[in-house]
Chains A and B, each alone.
Chain A
Amino acid sequence: MWQYLVKRLFLLLVTLFGICIITFLLVTLAPGDPAATYMGVQQVGSAKGRATDTVLKNARETLYLDRPVILNTTPNSRARIARKRVKELSEGTDYARQDAQEAIVGGIGTAALDIFIDEAQARAQQGVEPATKLAVAVAALETVAANASATAVELDAAVKTVKTLVPGRGPRVSGRASSADAAKAWVTWGKNHLDEPFQGVNALLDTLARLVPPDKDGPAAKGTPVERAKVWAQWWEQHKARFDPATVDKAVAAYMSAPEAQQKARLAELEKLGAVCIAPLMAIYQSSTGEQHRLAAFAISLIAHNTNDLTPRQTHRDEFAAEWADKKIGGDKEKYVDAQIAKMLEDQETKLSRWWFRSEEEFVEFSTVRQMGRGFTQTQFGNWFRQLVKLDFGTSLAHRKNNLDLIKERFPRSAWLNFFSMMLTYLIAIPIGVYSATNQRSVGDRISTIGLFVLYSLPSFWVGSILIMLLTGPPTGVDLFPSRGYEDMNAASFDSWARFKDWVWHITLPVLCLTYGGIAYVSRQMRAGMLEVIRQDYIRTARAKGLAEKVVVFKHAMRNSLIPIITLMAFLLPHMFGGSVIIESIFSIDGLGKLLFEAINQRDLPLIMTEVVIAGVLTLIGILLADIMYAIVDPRIELK
């Protein structure tokens, strides 16, 4: 038995993983941009402004959509990211340059100072030759342009020489402008942009100056890019030791162990070092608890410019206290504030860990094994699955709410509806089944068989529509029931008895629609099972012994024929969760079925995935329970 259970549980996990993968793939393969849903951008492409792009880019990063779906064949590490950023700085538009600079300052920063300085030197050297060429070409162009008798061909050729030296850049020249005008525009532009080949290097050097400004021991480099790069290289030779891992570790340790009075100074020290401290700080943060934990987080938040410092302040307490007063939340004020603070801290921990999962690559050089592991974790699926394992179901894109909260909010409605309909189903169906089996071929049996057959074939959406037509008011029916909703809009203000009455009044029709099909199905099952059992020898024996018919039917026959029915009960759980999309839509009941339906329509991926995974888990548990119950009820079955 136990062995069987363990085996089943193991298989359950395997299947669950399969469900996760299939769900994830299906939902991801569907076309459309979830980031657009998330940001409420209606049509990507029509408004291709920079703002939209940036917003979408950020949203994509938040949703992990910038990573591969299942397998990351080139997972990033510190050096790769640093080189990528340098490349972004030296190629691309001014906007891209700005973005890259911000990314360096807000992220990788001093952690890759060595690479940046190497690159600066190399790229400065590389820029010298094209810069010279450009100066020559511009001068040549100027002479040609100044020459009044120059032909269009000559002008074009001179412009082309300049153009090839600065691919993709240049002044805005209208296509209709004459060659002379174009040449003039190019001369003006060329004179102002003689340092064009140095653009990337300059951006890099500016970034370096922002990372280690002169007032934080940085060099005050001036002059041509080559000279500036040289100054930086010399500075690096002198100050290398300060950014050495061992030294940094020492500085971090000093901060962590410093008495309260010196902490500020030590922290300033760390801030001066910059991003290079983040990796050791994070190591301490992850391995420690209590004050050390908080101190590490505080330093990280300061250096990485985020607000997850795990340090509740008086302002927070005041805010929560004000909230307590505003929203008229009952109970003890202090308790409420403490609870809110605890919630805030928990939230910050989550955010910090998510940030680190994403940004670790900027600060740490990975071992080969870890790098290979990150090929699986640094993917959309990896991220989602990691959160799932932590029971973090994410946020709905359309509702901007935690998925689990959303489901919790809607669950009672679907659950009550389905619970009632299931209960009603069994209460009505089992007696009917027993009756028609024991009175086989009687008039009652025939009528119930035909009636149930008809019920079984009636489409529920049709029945729902007809009920609305006939029972919810004129012109086509009588006004007996409401046509929509789970309860009255003002139900919250009713007293409990009135509320209950209103609720029953509202759910009668939906429950009816959900029930009749089940009745037909279960009672047919019951009848078939009962007939099977009644033919068995032991029933004949019981009758031969002279037992009363009542005893034979209810004690001997019914118990055994209930076995398949009892196992059906195991599906109550997934059924209650799944809700019924069609019935909930017809009667406008905001249950889980309708939630799923809307989520699919709105392409709210996290919500769809959450609902599907929970439904999958419940179904799996249901199947398992059914098997176990089967074995418990029927001793002939052995679990192997």
Chain B
Amino acid sequence: MTTATAEAPAVAPKVLYSDQGFWTIAWRQFRKDRVSVIGLVTVALLVALATFSPFIANGRPYQITGVLTNFYANEVAAFGDWHGKYREVAEDLSNAKSLSPIEKAEREANADRYRAGLPSILRRMGSYMKGEDARHLEELTVRYEKLLAAAPPALDRAAYEALGDEIEERFGAFAFEPAYKRVSLPLARFAFPANDGSPALLKRSLDAQEEARYAKEDGDKKALAAAEKKLAALAPEADKIARTVESSGKHMAAFLEPADSKALEETIAELGKTMRALAVPLSDAELGSRFNDLSSKVDALARKPVPPERQRIPRTTLHPVFDYLTGREVGFVVLYATVILVILLRGPFARVTARLPFDPSDLGLIRLGFIVAPALLAAFAWWATVPEREPPADTFYKKFAEDLDAHPDAQSSISFAPVPYGENENLQYDKISAPTWLEDVGHKVKRLREPDRPLPQGVTEEQLKAWMEGDAASRAKHDQNVVIAPWADELVKKRLTRYRYHWLGTDNNGRDVCTRLIMGSRISLSVGFVSVGLNVLIGVFLGCLAGYFRGWVDILISRFTEVLICIPSLVLILTVIVILPPWIPAIWGIMVTLGLINWTGEMRLIRGEYLRLINLDFVTAGRALGLSNARVIFRHMLPNAMAPALVAATFGIAGAILTESGLSFLGLGIQPPAASWGSVLNEAFGHEKDMWWVTIFPGFMIFVTITAYNLVGEGFRDATDPRLRK
């Protein structure tokens, strides 16, 4: 700024009005008004907030280092899920005749997604592993990729399934939790009734055993034969389950301490025998209780922690924020960076620019392309290389972080964004909390005491409150009287961690208001840009036609405009929102609607300018030269007519943001889970007194934004109006 103002007087007299365009002069004028510049900087900062929101507020950490068995398990589950889904889709596509064209297209799109995503999931799984395991998985991945290379109908399904099973069998076991389930699930299948209500295998065989025993006692040969027949029918199933249990038990044993491992192997062997014996007629009557004992023993062993040296998953580092960025987000970040770069090149680095072959200060369409193209390219490249997938819930990382806080580990670490919450992270136990820095002791104690995590035995809420309220002296007194102080500090530290610190409080769903405001800024700001962009397009086009051709074209367009002005805008907006085709996402709906409705002002301004310009000599000259109407309208007249429309558009952005917030405030605009400032404010509609923080902060954001846009608009108007030039 200082360099620019210092330079201005030296340069201005020489070049002004000679080789500089209208906009350059307007910009010079604009820059003179400090207040408008502050407005412009505020807008830029707000847009930065929206653009970089994933890095400012995110429930996922920037970086996480540790033994991430759970994360690995998540990848294994994702692999299993997509593997199965792709198999289904491929099956559907192999008999494509039974599909409608829409279904087929949908399946094909899905198939492409899975084909692109599956190998990368495997690669990510591989990134958790070391040495021999990693090499083995890489080998399998290459084979898997080869199978996927063929189009879905030509998929070698047998090989595909075998390979998938192999991967799951071998590498699924590494995630300890799934391995545990692999033992307990068949056991449960054996011991508990099925989902459809049919009795468990265990019960059926025990019943048959009993029948056989009674029949033998009674000497009823026929009944005995029937019972034996029943048991024989059960035998293959029991054998199958027993084998599954044995093989998964072997996997599991590999993860336990040697002693436990041995015990497990023995127990499993015993268990398998028991299960098979259950299907043999007239065996031991105690079999049922033996099964129960053994299976609970297996269960207990399976729950033991894995000793570090047995873990196959080494310490890893992940960057979830970056992993789950979407192409769109990357594109906007690049766009913002480019714009800042261009501004820097024009301002502080103007001397560098002077040597460039083109003049970046002139914002022609082609130059605009130089700014937009890198963003589009980056977005596309990101979209193509980083396949989108379902991210794990935000609480997933929080759990790790809280464990880490409780048991600090020199080698593990986690670092979160400044506001560590997801847009829709419902912290039910923290709902309706005031901003944490304003919270009173009572509320803090209330938050310490959650329904699922009660206070330690023998401590009352009052004691805790007294302790928290008290000064050093009274704390000391408590120390003497009550056994509370030693752990109270720890409790407060543990339960009111930074992961429960809310700068701007939470709403009645336990969502962090600050996060929602930051994420909501994306919608609130883009509503302004998109809808006003549409307004300008429509308004300018119709205004040009009406002003240039006059006559009946003018009458038609002007009448139509008047009709639109006369219909209450709420009715227009709401009906257009309702009748928009369903393929337009809800978030875009409101932007498009506002864009389709609010163009009347632009149209009238442009029309007026054209009516003025059409009598000027340069237009007559252009027409006399035989230029086409389109050329005269868009190349010659439009640049001279745009200024008032663009000033109006700047105010229009403020108006659109206000309208969107108003609609969302009434609950008619953006629908949850997406947030905009208006919809956050809506959470407090009718509860203003219970949650003042949900009322104050979103409204303040709207207010700041609108003020900034209005300031920019004022400055812009003054700068483009020659009469007001200072």
Contacts and interface: CB of A to CB of B under 8 A. Distances in A.
Contacts of A29: 575, 579
A475 B689 contact: yes
B141 interface: no
A458 B702 CA distance: 8
Given A454-B707, A476-B692, A582-B666, A465 B571 contact: no
State the 5 A-B residue pairs at the shortest beta-carbon distance, nearest first: A462-B699, A616-B566, A457-B707, A18-B563, A469-B688
17 contacts: A18-B559, A18-B562, A23-B567, A26-B572, A26-B579, A27-B575, A30-B575, A453-B707, A457-B706, A458-B703, A465-B684, A465-B699, A469-B688, A469-B695, A477-B689, A582-B666, A616-B567
A366 interface: no
Contacts of B560: 18
Contact of A457 (B579, B661, B692, B710): B710
Given A18-B560, A474-B689, 7 more contacts: A15-B559, A461-B681, A465-B699, A578-B568, A582-B662, A600-B571, A608-B571
B684 A30 contact: no
Contacts of A168: none
B654 interface: yes
Given A26-B575, A30-B575, A462-B703, A19 B566 contact: yes
A596 B567 contact: no
Contacts of B700: 462
A273 B698 CA distance: 75
Contact of B688 (A23, A458, A476, A616): A476
Nearest to A456: B710
Interface residues of B, number: 39
Given A459-B706, A462-B703, A19 B570 contact: no
A572 to B, nearest CB: 16
Interface in A441-465: 453-454, 456-459, 461-462, 465
A445 B80 CA distance: 71
Contacts of B707: 453-454, 457
A150 to B, nearest CB: 37
Nearest to B704: A457
Contacts of A462: 681, 695, 699-700, 702-703
Nearest to A17: B563
Contacts of A475: 689
B696 interface: yes
Nearest to B702: A459
A200 to B, nearest CB: 38
Given A457-B707, A465-B681, A596-B571, A619 B565 contact: yes
A365 to B, nearest CB: 39
A136 interface: no
A578 B662 CA distance: 16
A459 B699 contact: yes
Contacts of A19: 563, 566-567
B696 A466 contact: yes
B114 interface: no
A321 interface: no
A620 interface: yes
A91 to B, nearest CB: 31
B580 to A, nearest CB: 10
Given A459-B662, A466-B695, A466-B699, A11 B566 contact: no
B637 interface: no
Contacts of A15: 559, 562-563, 566
Interface of A: 11, 14-15, 18-19, 22-23, 26-27, 29-31, 453-454, 456-459, 461-462, 465-466, 468-469, 472-477, 578, 581-582, 585-586, 596-597, 600, 608, 611-612, 615-616, 619-620, 623
A201 to B, nearest CB: 43
Given A11-B559, A461-B662, A581-B666, A476 B689 contact: yes
B695 A612 contact: no
A130 to B, nearest CB: 38
Nearest to B577: A30
Nearest to B698: A462
Contacts of A585: 666
A615 B568 contact: yes
A577 to B, nearest CB: 10
Contacts of B575: 26-27, 29-30, 600
Contacts of A600: 570-571, 574-575
A26 B570 contact: no
A22 B703 contact: no
A477 B692 CA distance: 10
Interface in B669-703: 681, 684-685, 688-689, 692, 695-696, 699-700, 702-703
A279 to B, nearest CB: 40
A558 B684 CA distance: 45
Contacts of A22: 563-564, 567
Nearest to B658: A459
B640 to A, nearest CB: 24
Given A18-B559, A578-B568, A465 B661 contact: no
Contacts of A458: 703
Nearest to A20: B563
Contacts of B692: 469, 476
Contacts of A453: 707, 710-711
Given A459-B658, A466-B695, A619-B566, A30 B688 contact: no
Contact of A620 (B564, B566, B570, B699): B566
From A458, A461, A472, name the one whose CB has the most chain B CB atoms within 10 angstroms.
A461
B404 interface: no
Contacts of B696: 466
A488 B308 CA distance: 73
Contacts of A477: 689
Contacts of A454: 707
A222 to B, nearest CB: 56
Nearest to A460: B662
Nearest to B707: A457
B559 A14 contact: yes
A566 B661 CA distance: 31
A459 B701 CA distance: 10
A459 B661 contact: yes
Nearest to A454: B707
Interface in B549-588: 559-560, 562-568, 570-572, 574-576, 578-579
Contacts of B688: 465-466, 468-469, 476
A188 to B, nearest CB: 40
B665 interface: yes
A473 B666 contact: no
Contacts of A476: 688-689, 692
B232 to A, nearest CB: 33
A466 B665 CA distance: 14
Contacts of A465: 681, 684-685, 688, 695, 699
Contacts of A456: 710
Interface in B65-80: none
Interface string B525-548: 000000000000000000000000
B571 to A, nearest CB: 5
B567 to A, nearest CB: 6
Contacts of B574: 600
A15 B702 CA distance: 36
Nearest to A588: B686
A26 B703 CA distance: 33
Contacts of B711: 453
Q: Which residue, of B575, B662, B685, has the highest number of chain A Cβ atoms within 10 A?
A: B575
A144 B492 CA distance: 90
Q: Which of B570, B684, B706 has the most chain A CB atoms inside 10 A of its CB?
A: B570
A615 B566 contact: yes
A536 to B, nearest CB: 13
Which among A18, A454, A475 has the highest number of chain B CB atoms within 10 Å?
A18
A609 B330 CA distance: 46
Contacts of A616: 563, 566-567
Interface in B628-660: 654, 658
Contacts of A619: 565-566
